[in-house]
Amino acid sequence: MATITSSASIPAARARISRSERLAPAVFILPAVLVVLFISIFPLILSLFLSLSRLRFQAGGLEVQFVGLDNYRKLLLGNEQKVLFGVLGEPSLFGWAILACVAASLGLVIYRTARRQSVGAIIGRLLASVVLLGLTYLIAATLFAPEGRPGTLVVTMLYVAVGITLQYLIGLGLALLCAQPLPGRRFFRVVFLLPMMITPVGVGYLFRMLADTNKGPLEPLWIALGMQDFAWSNNAWGARVAVMIGDIWQWTPFMFIVLLAAIEAQEVEPVEAAIVDGAGSFDIFRHITLPAILPVSTTLILIRMIEAFKIIDLPNILTNGGPGTATETLTLYAYRIWRALDIGGSAAIAYILLFLVTFIAMLYVRTLRNRLGTT
Amino acid sequence: MNPKKIASLAALSALILAACAAPPAAAPAQPAQPAQPAEQQPAAPGKKFAGVTVNAITFSGPQIAEPMQRRGKEFSEMTGATINVVTVPFADLYQKILNDFATGTNSFDVIVFAPQWMVDYIEPGYLEDLTDRVKADSDLQWDDIGLFFRDFSATYNGRIYTIPLDGDFQMVYYRTDIAKELGLQPPKTWDDYIAFAKAVSEKKLTTDDGKPVYGSCIAKKKAAQSYWMITSVASAFIQSQGTGQGAFFDLETFKPLYNNEAFARALEVYKETTQFGPPDEINLDVGDTRGLWTAGQCALTIDWGDIGTLAIEEGSKAKDKTGAVILPGSKQVLDRKTGKLVDCTPELCPHAIDGVNHAPFAAFGGWSGAINKASKPEVKDAAFAYLSYMNQPAQSNVDVTIGKTGFNPYRVSQFKNLDNWLKAGMSEQAAKDYLGAIEASLNSPNMVLDLRIPQNQYYQGIVLDGAIAKFLAGEQDLAATMKEIEDGWEQKTEELGRDKQLAAYRSTLGVQK
Amino acid sequence: MRSFFRSSSPLKPSPFRMLVSYLILGFWAFLILFPLYWLFITAFKLPAAVNNGPFYIPFVDFQPSLHAWEYVLGEVGNDTIRLFTNTVGVSLISATLALVVGSGAAYALTRFRFHPKVGTILVFIGCVVLAIVLTALGAPWPLSVAVGIALFVVSLFTLARRFKRALGNSDIAFWLISQRILPPVAVVIPIYIAFQQLRLLDTWAALIITYVATNLPIVVWLMRDYFANIPYELEESAQIDGASRFRIFNQIVLPLSVPGLVATFLFVLVFCWNEYLLALFLTNARAQTMPLAVVAQNATRGPQWWYMSVLVLIMIVPVIAMAIVLERYIARGLLVGAVKG
């Protein structure tokens, strides 16, 4: 399957290029591409098809009835609308301020593009801006509005944003500390990895045990604070915070270990030279360590972002998405209706997620990652 | 240089090939390991089902799988058939079985499942009709099985499809010691229930290690058992004329019965009980409420028969203090023509006791066994004999008294005979209480059959459960909740075909056209 | 050089900084170890000791019991061992294969330039859609696949040539990672059907193929960054000396990226080790894996905390052992950097 034509273009490799050498690029990349193609493209297209249809179980197999965009219509406009988008309210002053800031910066980007670049680039950026502005409005009108209530879409984005930010910062901090020549650091390194090793479902149940304020380990603390009549699980934000704590606990190790490996892999001479020159540790971090780990960081954030958008186990086990719809994420929602045999609807949610994440990931790759000078 | 490159190229492709080739080669080696403790029985020649292998599926965990494996072993020794019990996590059992049937994989001959799902399996023709086999099998003592389980639970459209192994319906449990202390009677109506809970709650009782005792603990967690609990409350207000009346839809128009004064009252009761419950009640599932019960922290709860056997387990603080009654009733019921709540009259509530209409709810339906239609004839025979063996009184009357199994009584002989229960560790008073409530429920002609129409999981697990969760969390008011349920159900009905759904609904209730 | 770096004062933190570091590290270690401690003691509690809790210290607060261990390792011991063997086998093979295949691709993406033609891709997608539609219409799938491939080859030399536009390496990389965006619930039925047709359900093969494919993108992305950080001059001089690509990759690039390889291997291993939904559907009895047993502990009676804790503990011990062994290699990254200079 010659989907990819390749040409080796290595500056210094002009010497003698044998036949196998010319084939090398293909040999390196094709196995991966073929395996992914084999396993991914068929489900991808089939589930797109499922999202446009309704499944019925009949004698001798499945009856697939094509319903066009009906599954999407139900989600975006029908009974399910409130689950997905939440309840929109009039944004507060703060909400408007955020909206205004985003609108202004997008305007600036488009203005700059308009002066320098082609029509295609302008249209692309306009479209991206419209989607971004829409998402910002949704956030402002649900999270930053007294009357509003976030739906699964915004809740998912909230988990992703807060989770990744904190995981990255904590992971980086711990990695920097662990990279120091401290006695006993090996102990910390292994300990810090542990949460990642537990099956996600196990982490969910572990946190359900810990968060039980009646028979869990925090019960005495809870009573000492005079909160025996307060249940975090009754409160929308209490429940969301519980989910986020679990998520941070579980996934900080991922950030930690990759960043640690990146810090340890960096070259030592510049650091030594800087120390000899009398640079402070913050300067060393900013000018030497940070640039060295930035490429890995951007990758890390992208991978974690894609994974984090699929968050399901923690909300599913801690609260089943409750109270009400407060902690429900897109994937959990898709899973719940999938179990109830609404396979088309579930596929439609998955595709909405696919569009959203692809959009955000592309935006991220185009703006941040490429600007930071990686491929 | 060249040969080397080619060699490494070959090595790489060999690896990739190995990726595909090696595992399948490894896989067939698998069956050599003892996959299940019950299998690997050498086929004894001469026995009735020698050489026949029956693959059964149920959910993991000791409740159902343990007796299936234990009885499977005995059955193998008797008949020479091999019984393989495959288990998957409970939450995914329904989908797993359906997928297997629908794609024609047919890995399973026997399914032990919740009969609530059976219409989804029967309608496409996946399940074997067992009517004739049941009639021909006298060892089964079919007439000893509770009327409800025989005629409604195991039956669809007048044909028998499942063999009951377990009797599931909900009851109210109360703490006999607290009732005595406060001079309270076990609740007869839902108003009594609230009064009981309130009285306990106001007393601010504590357990001997200083933990609070709550007036009422109901599993109200979203996407767990909450939608059965609300139905247990609502059924007394909605169904009054016997099982055949149904408690979910109108029998003529298939309009939902969940948007009227009766359901509104049920919702009010349901929400009111939250005040007397643990602070995190809306995040508790039955596992949690059962834990609270055995820790002595609840004065009332709604649950299946399991509490009776759990309360006598080691370490339980509710031992010999657990009383059971039939689900509370109501003196007012729904007038289906007007949608209003009206007082009971002998015509309206023919089954009322002292003017109170009780409608015990057979939530979930009780684990039952069914046979795959696509299995080979000799396998079907062995499969039926196996299910029959487990169901026969000699076996089942012991199994239902074992706390570890999830089997609850479903045969008349099981609650007439106290011996097995006393042997299992119940006090005589507790056994009488427990079995009395079971008998009252089982004998009620007004038992409510759980919803079994195609895709009932969507009607209940998604629409009803979602609306109730939002109601309890205060995201929406009563009217909006009822409207959401009605709209969601109507939408699904339109999608699946109203006539088809209505026909299925009537068939499950045994209503002939 | 190395000894200088290791022992000299410039990089050694001051006592005060060490104290602060230990405090922070100790705090985080506590946050991680306490939940695990709770898991550990729960595995020795009787149901009553859980429900009447909280109890913290065995023998003081509550009498530990081995009942959960007896159940998991004794009563259903055969099942546990079978599930455990499957988990170990499947994840080790999957992680190794994913690392081998993925790091090759990652290397290619950092060192060569690819120009996949848009036309080719479009034609390919078209043919896949056609094959699926044909199958949906009732044609046997081998036939549809054959038709699809034939049509693809034909149009490759005709239609596809008309499109001149080509994509670059970053597009390939993005395409790879985008394969992870869809949640498993959306793809599980198609994958189930595919393996049912191939008659591979309930085998290791099905799980391994799926896991390799789903984890490849992560390997590619992580390894790409490590490879990009390796100074190019080393490879250039090797190339001038006449070393082949494969040799450079094997003998220069891979050894230099051991920390990255180890970290990546660990991730993929853990992901395969812990995967639930696909394992549930692709297996029945023979190839079931451990996560299923953990989930199974929440059934009609509510979570069986004691059994669940035992199972989770059994599951993490081998991975922890592996992490302790492999941690050395991650640490060695620093030395490699120093030696190289």
What is the CATH number for C95? Answer: 1.10.3720.10
Residue C8 lies in a domain: no
Q: Is B10's pLDDT higher than 50?
A: no
Residue B238 shares a structural domain with residue B248 = yes
* Mutation target vs A (from C141, C189, C340; most A CBs, 10 A cutoff): C189
Categorize the per-residue pLDDT at B31 as very low, low, confident or very high, splitting at 50, 70 and 90: very low
How many residues in total does chain C contain? 341
* Nearest CA-CA distance, residue C162 and chain B, Å: 33
Residue B17 lies in a domain: no
CA–chain centroid gap for C156, Å, is 35
**Closest to C205 (Cβ–Cβ): which among B27, B86, B103?**
B27
Task: Read off the pLDDT of residues B255-278 as tens digits, 9 standing for 90 and up.
Answer: 999 999 999 999 999 999 999 999
Is A67 part of the contact surface with chain C (CB cutoff 8 Å)?
Answer: no
Q: Is B465's pLDDT higher than 90?
A: yes
Is C72 part of the contact surface with chain B (CB cutoff 8 Å)?
Answer: no
Categorize the per-residue pLDDT at C331 as very low, low, confident or very high, splitting at 50, 70 and 90: low
Residue A277 shares a structural domain with residue A343 = yes
Instruction: Show the domain range for A99.
Output: 89-147
Inter-chain CB proximity B283 and A323 less than 8 Å: yes
Nearest CA in chain C to B404: C301
pLDDT of res. A4: 40
Residue A335 shares a structural domain with residue A218 = yes
Count of domains forming chain B: 2
The residue that leads in pLDDT, C225 or B67, is B67
* Nearest CA-CA distance, residue A97 and chain C, Å: 32
| Selection from A89, C189, B71 nearest residue C197 by Cα | C189
Q: Name the strands in the sheet holding B53-59, side by side, starting at the edge strand that comes first in the sequence.
A: B82-88, B53-59, B110-113, B368-371, B163-164
Tokens at B101, concatenated: 């049937």
List the 327-346 stretch of A: residues with Cβ below 8 A of C.
330-331, 334-335, 338, 343, 346
Residue A228 shares a structural domain with residue A340 = yes
DSSP reduced 3-state for B36: coil
Q: How many CB pairs under 8 A join B and C?
A: 153
Residue B146 to residues B118, B133, B143, B152, C25, Cα–Cα distance (Å): 19, 19, 8, 10, 63
**Across residues C246-273, what is the average pLDDT?**
87
Residue C138 lies in a domain: no
Residue A154 shares a structural domain with residue A143 = no
User: What residues does A64 pair with on adjacent strands?
Assistant: A55
Q: How far apart are CA B404 and CA B61, in angstroms?
A: 10
Residue A189 shares a structural domain with residue A211 = yes
Residue A141 shares a structural domain with residue A242 = no
Inter-chain CB proximity B458 and A337 less than 8 Å: yes
Instruction: Show the domain range for B484.
Output: 171-364+433-508
Residue A126 lies in a domain: yes
Identify the weakest region by mean pLDDT among A274-288, B9-23, B247-261: B9-23
Residue B18 lies in a domain: no
Inter-chain CB proximity A336 and B461 less than 8 Å: yes
* Nearest CA-CA distance, residue B337 and chain C, Å: 38
Residue B155 lies in a domain: yes
pLDDT of res. B43: 44
Burial class (CB in 10 A: 0-12, 13-18, 19+), C339: exposed
Categorize the per-residue pLDDT at A369 as very low, low, confident or very high, splitting at 50, 70 and 90: low
Tokens at A117, concatenated: 């670049």
Is A53 part of the contact surface with chain B (CB cutoff 8 Å)?
Answer: no
Categorize the per-residue pLDDT at B213 as very low, low, confident or very high, splitting at 50, 70 and 90: very high
Instruction: Show the domain range for C327.
Output: 68-114+198-334
* Nearest CA-CA distance, residue C182 and chain B, Å: 20
Is A39 part of the contact surface with chain B (CB cutoff 8 Å)?
Answer: no
Q: How far apart are CA A333 and CA A321, in angstroms?
A: 8
Instruction: Give φ, ψ of A86 to 5 degrees.
Output: 85, -165
Q: How far apart are CA C209 and CA B438, in angstroms?
A: 52
Residue A199 shares a structural domain with residue A122 = no
Q: How far apart are CA A325 and CA B305, in angstroms?
A: 31
pTM, to two decimals: 0.87
Share of chain A above pLDDT 70, in %: 92
DSSP letters, B187-235, are PSBHHHHHHHHHHHHHHT-B-TTSPBPBS-B----TTTTHHHHHHHHHH
Tokens at A6, concatenated: 């390749």
- Output the domain CATH number for residue B408: 3.40.190.10
Q: Find the Cα–Cα–Cα–Cα dihedral C20, C22, C28, C32, rounded to 10°.
A: -170
Residue B57 shares a structural domain with residue B67 = yes
Residue A138 shares a structural domain with residue A168 = no
- Output the domain CATH number for residue A264: 1.10.3720.10
Categorize the per-residue pLDDT at A370 as very low, low, confident or very high, splitting at 50, 70 and 90: low
Cβ-based neighbours of B218, under 8 Å, separated by 6 or more: B229, B270, B273, B277, B281, B284, B289, B301, B302
Nearest CA in chain C to A245: C31
